[in-house]
Structure 1
Amino acid sequence: MSRIRSLQPDDLSQVVALYRTYFAEPNVGDADELHTAFEQIFLGQPLSDPSIPSLVFEGSDGEILGFIGSLVHRMRFDETPVRLACSSSLVVAPRARQLGAGGLLLRKYLAGPQDLTITDTAGSATEHMWKRLGGSMYHLGSVTWLHLLHPLRAAVGVKLWQRGRHRWLPFARPLCRPTDALYSRFTGTDGTSDVEKHTEEPLSPQLLIDHLHLGPQQFPLRPDFDAESLGMLFDQIDRSRSNGRLVKNFVRDARGRPVGWYIASLLPSGIYRVMGLAAAPGNEELLFRHVLHKAKDLNAAAVAGRLEPWMLEVSPRRMMMFLRVRFLVHSRNSALCDAVRSGKALLTGLESDIWIPR
């Protein structure tokens, strides 16, 4: 008889095989690389919690036919400790889908002892299951923004990455250059900026904790980081080949006053993906322009990230917005769901699973 149970170390080989076959992009890496990553992420510190484990769907013959990953973060709601669980990497073999394995795994996971569950990389099928189980969508958080720097190279880079051929990108860049140069000439993307006077320093775990919240807005729901666990999380993100180069900096103006901080990664596709950022009051536009300027310095093809409410006021004219994935929330405490959906939750992007190898 099939059953759902907690992920065990001996399951990892089958889980990795399932993931590589039915979920991952062609370039995700070899089995050994994924085995090490999954062991660290889903069974190691700081993200695993034995009381809210990753789950597997085991067939009657002992074969692993389904998997849902669990990432657990400490939060605070006002002054009350909260455990936030992020549902990750839900994958089911075709022959188990007719048994409803995906829905059963998700129902079991959502029934866990966590106070709040999220996922912000869901597709339409997952959205349907969540809503049937009492979840809802955070619409603003489901919007992705994209600012093109070199549009043809961005399109080619994404396509090559999706096909597992990103190593061809250096050879494709010269072919893209004339078209992208025309785009830069007519849009002014090559212009200088006053943000060149800003200074940067590495965003250490303690520096992020000290400056997590810079603006005047109050966030009843917010992360409760500690420096050791945050450092381990940074290391895990940095080790993932699919994340490319991790960039995390604290920005100051010419007088040494804080402008803000940001965390991003230059993906192998050439996209500069922003995972989190926060600006000091009155510096929102400066910080955003600084991030775009940094992307240019790194020769990124485009800059992308999840939409934050304040970005609507500072976004450049050429920024595009579209619904790419679903940000879903579930909780037995309606106040926690309301905090997320109303923008009163400070979510840095580190709480998501967007950096998981895929």
Structure 2
Amino acid sequence: MASGGGRRRGPPRRRPRRRRALGAAGGGTPDHGLPQRERPPDAGAGPGPERLARAPRCGLRGVVAEHDRLLLTAGHGGAPGSSPHGPRGGHVPITSVIDHVAAAVPDPRVASQRWVDELGGGTLNDASGEHFATRQIRYTGGGKLELLAPPPDDDSPDNFVRRFLDRRGAGVHHVTLKVPELHPALREMQAAGYEVVDVQDTHPHWWEGFMRPSQVGGLIVQVAQSSLSAEEWAAQFGRIPEAPHREAAELRGPLLAHPDLGVARELWGLLGGDVRDEGDRLLVAWPDSVLTVAIVHGKSAGPRGLRFAGSGTLPPDNAAGPAVLEESARDRG
């Protein structure tokens, strides 16, 4: 979802024939399991991050199943030098910063009992679109969590969030990396052998592309260029952001498992992170963000929970979302 970060130079206006230049072959609806944005009804030329232009047909599992259908370059099995496990190295990392982490939940109002009432986060923005509801929460230090849910009036089993919940349960859904310019970043990712699907570059203030969880290790990565800050997005919907509670916990970021830490190191290094080996885990950090990504070795890839400081440990919950994992001062990174 569009959110956060300082003001950036806005992307250029519509450019004919470029909308899917680096995206998936063909048309149709997106396969990354994330909503697309459209303008709010009273915002004129301004965008609205909380509205849908079209409904994705599949959630996380659908993305994995579609791995061989939608490629970065139409009719091509991958960029030169690509492999099933990622790049061969020697490529220039993109310039990025991690903006937020998102969790899929059945109802953000119910889930907020954990993320706002118990952990002290302040509601930054919330809205309900035709196919999803969202609430963004900010914690001490500025880390942001997005709660993504089916809208209250949509009981369709084909809703993309509900499909994710039915198959995976409430849990970590994606992370969003902000970049100064989308297309140069996507070209570097393509040159390194990675696929990016559902590229959208016609929105006045928000451009994006997505990496499949099969490439990342059970997690969707959204790469986005935005010209609006979190406060400016909230203003689009008349929302005044709330400050975190004075004793709020500090969101550190997701904990992921990956069967090959060498592959994970290469991927997150390409994505602009500073990857450090801490012995029992890798820690991926960005200079301008409090959020980090921690990665441990595991036979099965995927998110294990959200890391917090000053939170205590909370188990995963079908209503509240992913597990809350307490980190000590040693784990600050």
TM category, shorter:
under 0.3
**Which of structures 1 and 2 has the bigger CA Rg?**
1
What TM-score comes out, normalization by structure 1 length?
A: 0.25
Which structure's residues are more often helix, by fraction? 1
